[in-house]
Structures are given as structure tokens and as C-alpha cells.
Chain A
Amino acid sequence: MTYFLLKMSATLCLKLQRNQGWLPLIQSVRHGSKAVTRHKKPLHFLKQKLIAVTRYIPPARTIPPGVYTSEKKHVQEDNEFILLLKKKLEEVFEECKMIGVVQTNPCGVDDMLMLRHRLGKHDIKIKFFPNQVMLSFLSNSVYSNMAPLFIGPTVLFVSKEPKVKEMLSALRVSPQMTLLGACIDNTLLSAQGVVRYSKLPSLTVVQGELVSGLTMLTSRTAFMLQHHPAHLSALLQQYIKQQSPDGGAEATPKGEEAS
């Protein structure tokens, strides 16, 4: 009872004292609360609505680039050994006119030696580069279309001159090698293309055929222009010969008669 009166007086006094600038004597904490406050008191519906409407939505901040380090930086680290291999690859591609890509199934050492010997006679070298290095090199260079060839165990047959027939014959003998494709004179060829290339005649023959084909027309026109006067001159010569043997034939029998 007294507590209630105190509270009453306190609320009344609060209002009086606020006006005069005095500090409050009693501050009621549990104003308007029920006895049990262990659970959250259900909000009044209007208050709930108000809170839902005026809820704070933080502004969507874009992540500035460079805040999170990307993983690509790790991949770009190139080993010195890989750089050396790439340099070698560059040299190979510059020097050699013919580069054949062959899938080798793991075969015995003897077969490899025989093959190397057979190819070495024609100055064809067998080179091996790891596929990763090969693919990274090819993607940076002009020869990027060769990239899908380099899957699995592959080996390069390299030579400065395009000696395709010898390469094909050596590959035919060894069963575990399959020719996948070749880059001859900076042109990418498939296996069938390589076979067709080997069947081509040599350059001089082809040039001769080309020249003859081109000059055929001009020679034909020249022939047609010269045909009539040539025919006439031939006829005249024949006539002269007919005339002169008649004279000669008369002269020789006369000479025989005389002798």
C-alpha cells in the first residue's frame, strides 16, 4: 500500500520536478510490467507493425576489387625448369619444319631404341615434354589449335626437313605408336592429311606441272596464229621439192644414160 502511494507520489513528483530541473528522487523501472518477465513480452500489434516497417536495412556495399586475393596468382608462378622447357619448345618450333604428335603406349626400352635408331638415320628426333608445359606454351603461341592433341602419353617427332614417308614407315612398323597429327610447314594436319601429304609429288614436279598448265593456253594461241603461214610455207616447200626432184630425176637418168 505504501509502495503504491510512494509510486503515485513519485510519478506526480517527477512531473513537478522535471519542470524545475531537479533530479528525480525515485525512478520506476518496472512500470507497466507483469510479474513474470522471463520470456519476451509479446509486443503490441501496432508496435510490431511499426518495428517491421521501420526496420533498418543496411546499404548493399559492393566488395571493392582486390580485397579478397584471388587464387590465380598461385598458378602463375612458373618454375625455372618450366621456363627452360618452354625455351626449348620455342627453339623446336622455330627450327623444325615437321613436328609430329604421336601417342606412345608404354613400350619396352628395346623397341624405343630401335625406333630412335631408325628415325635417327633420317635425322628425325624424338622429344618428350610434359603435357602441362606443352599446353601452357601452346595457349600463348600461334599453335593453339594443337592443344587438344596433347592428352595422355604423347611424344613429339621433330625434324628440320619434312620427311614424312620415313616417319610413316617407321610408325607402321611399331604397333604401339599412333600418329595423332602433325604440324608441317606451320600447317596443322590430321593423320589422314599427313598420309596425303606423303603421297604428294616433289616440289619441282609440281612446279613443272603448273608451268606447263599455264603455258598450254598461250602456246595454243601461238600455234593457231602461226598455223596458216606455216602450212603455206610447208606446202610451198613440198612444191619446190616436187619441182626439183623432177629436174633432179631428169638430170640423174640423163647422167646414167650418159655414163
Chain B
Amino acid sequence: MAATSKSTVLLKAVKKITIQFCPFESNVRSTREFLALVGSAKARSTNMNCEVISVVKHDKSEPVIDITYVDGERLVMKGERLTCREMLSAFQSRCKDKDPQNSIASKR
């Protein structure tokens, strides 16, 4: 099970997260866990404007997580061979990079 090192998932710099997967495939576990973490009430409470959209398909396509940040940057993760932790760490590192910039800019 995905155990996060830091349990808070900050979505402040995120505009939209689209997660698409096909639940009948076997490579979907990490994507679903990522969805469970990102879609939780805590994560949503960090940013109410952020949309978390999940698309369920049935065409044997690979699971894809598409994150659009507030400043227009996109992060596309193909979850077929990635674990949930890897995806979460990549996501959180980018969020941190953007968030301290925003907080420093706002303090100044």
C-alpha cells in the first residue's frame, strides 16, 4: 500500500488533475492509489479550486495522469510501470518548487 513519507498533499499550485485508466487491466494499481491520495478530503481542502477528474475507460489503454499547474506547466505521468511513491514524490517535488516560489514572492 502506498505509504507517504509526508502525509500532506499540497495542491495549491495545481489547477487540474486528470487521471484516466482502465480498471480491468492489471497495471492500474499505482494509478488508483495515486487517485485515492490526491482525491482525498485533506488534499482537496488544500485547494478548493483544483479539479480532480477521473476518467474510466475500457480500451486497454495505459493509465495516464495529467496534471496542469497554475502557471500553465503540465506534468504527464504514465503510471503503467511507476509505483505510487515515485509518482507522488515527483509530483510533490514539483509542487514544492512552485509553492515556495509563490510564498517567497508573496512575502517579498
Contact = CB atoms under 8 A, between A and B. Distances in A.
Given A176-B39, A190-B24, A151 B32 contact: yes
B40 A106 contact: yes
Given A103-B35, A103-B36, A151 B29 contact: yes
A152 interface: yes
Q: Is the interface of B mostly helix, strand, loop or mixed?
A: mixed
Given A106-B41, A107-B41, A180-B23, A152 B56 contact: no
Nearest to B1: A152
B58 A190 contact: yes
A103 B54 CA distance: 10
A20 to B, nearest CB: 89
Interface residues of B, number: 20
Contacts, number: 57
A198 interface: no
Interface string A166-192: 000000000110111100000000111
Given A106-B41, A151-B28, A190-B58, A181 B36 contact: no
B26 A106 contact: no
Contacts of B44: 176
Interface in A79-137: 103, 105-108
B52 interface: yes
Interface string A187-214: 0001111000000000000000000000
B56 A148 contact: no
Contact of A193 (B33, B38, B58): B58
Contacts of B29: 151-152
B96 interface: no
A138 interface: no
B3 to A, nearest CB: 14
Contact of B52 (A151, A175, A180): A175
A245 to B, nearest CB: 71
A3 to B, nearest CB: 82
A148 B23 contact: yes
Nearest to B19: A178
A232 B24 CA distance: 66
20 contacts: A103-B35, A103-B36, A105-B35, A105-B36, A105-B38, A105-B41, A107-B40, A107-B41, A148-B23, A148-B25, A151-B28, A151-B32, A175-B39, A176-B39, A176-B44, A178-B35, A178-B54, A181-B24, A190-B23, A190-B56
| 10 residue pairs, one from A and one from B, having the closest CB atoms | A105-B39, A190-B58, A191-B56, A180-B23, A178-B54, A152-B32, A106-B40, A107-B41, A151-B29, A108-B41
Interface of B: 23-26, 28-29, 32-33, 35-36, 38-41, 44, 52, 54, 56-58
